Amino acid sequence: MKKLIEVKNISYSYDNTNVLENITLDIIDNDFLAIIGPNGGGKSTLLKVMLGLLKIKSGQIIKNLKNEDIGYVPQNTNLNTDFPITALEVVLMGHKSKKRKLFGFSKEDIDAAMTSLKEVEMQDFANSKIGDLSGGQRQRVFIARALCTNPKIMLLDEPTASIDVKGQKEIYELLKELNKTISIVVVSHDISILLNYAKNVAHINKKLVYHHLKNTKEKIDTEKEHLCEVELLSALGKTEICCNQTHQLG
Ligand SMILES: Nc1ncnc2c1ncn2[C@@H]1O[C@H](COP(=O)(O)OP(=O)(O)OP(=O)(O)O)[C@@H](O)[C@H]1O
């Protein structure tokens, strides 16, 4: 199993507040890693650290791939849906063509963006204003934007927040399809849905507890509608293996 990203004993603090403590985690080829944990637990911070958007002061991040091999779908809270931009234009923003024209985009750029839109089944909405799309459709467009560089791994921060249950399932089905060729790392609070798709779970609350879901899924009733993190963690067991060390849940 090839390690794509190795997180080695990193800690991170904003000003003097420690948010991540001694996190060690490998993202492997073909992984589908769910990052769960309470609000403010450090999940988004961990993604930003892995992306290099935040600089760590201790520990090490080893990326065995190029930056453009990493796709990122950030948390969607600040989007101004009144901005008059089409789905195709949003996807083009993710395209890093070597033949970029000074103004506008080449036919190659547009073809590549349309291919990404097809991958997420949004090609028919290419010319729709982003604000006219449903939350689920909009999220597909943002996933298409991240697909533009043909990433080997995609990091998604709460991609199903404020999307209805049907839309959530569709997004996870899409991620499952993408996972046939790329690794997926997804921060989410939708534990029940997530468990039907994830291969591994990282629970982050400043510290990390890592679970291989192989052989443990049968212990969990994933059809149960409101499975919460506490139930999940008790079903998985109190201790789990994290990079050859056993961590006790606090
Ligand atoms: N730019 C920042 N400056 C200072 N503190 C921050 C900043 N960003 C996040 N924090 C703090 O760091 C902690 C972890 O935040 P983070 O967004 O990583 O958590 P999270 O697990 O993703 O939370 P949520 O589930 O609510 O999105 C929180 O206490 C938050 O208030």
The pLDDT value given to residue 248: 39
Give the number of C-alpha atoms closer than 13 A to the C-alpha of residue 160, restricted to the C-beta side.
Answer: 22
pTM above threshold 0.95: no
Residue 48 lies in a domain: yes
Query: pLDDT by residue (tens digit) across 223-236?
Result: 655 556 666 666 66
Any ligand 1 atom below 6 A from CB of 74: no
Residue 103 lies in a domain: no
What's the CATH code of the domain at 5? 3.40.50.300
Residue 32 lies in a domain: yes
Residue 133 lies in a domain: no
Residue 26 lies in a domain: yes
Q: What single DSSP character describes residue 59?
A: E
> Ligand 1, atom 10: nearest CA belongs to which residue?
14
CB-CB contact of 178 with 204 (8 Å): no
Residue 121 lies in a domain: no
ipTM over 0.95: yes
> Ligand 1, atom 7: nearest CA belongs to which residue?
14
Dihedral of CA 170/176/182/188: which sign? positive
Residue 119 lies in a domain: no
Ligand 1 atom at minimum distance from 42 CA? 18
Ligand 1 atom at minimum distance from 189 CA? 25
Among 19, 160, 162, 208, the mutation site with the greatest number of ligand 1 atoms within 8 A of its Cβ is 19
Query: pLDDT by residue (tens digit) across 128-177?
Result: 999 899 889 999 999 999 998 899 999 999 998 878 888 888 999 999 99
> Ligand 1, atom 18: nearest CA belongs to which residue?
42
Cα(47) to centroid of ligand 1, in Å?
A: 11
The pLDDT value given to residue 161: 86
pLDDT score of 102 more than 80: no
Range of the domain at 22: 1-65+155-163+182-250
The pLDDT value given to residue 234: 64
> In the chain, how many domains are there?
1
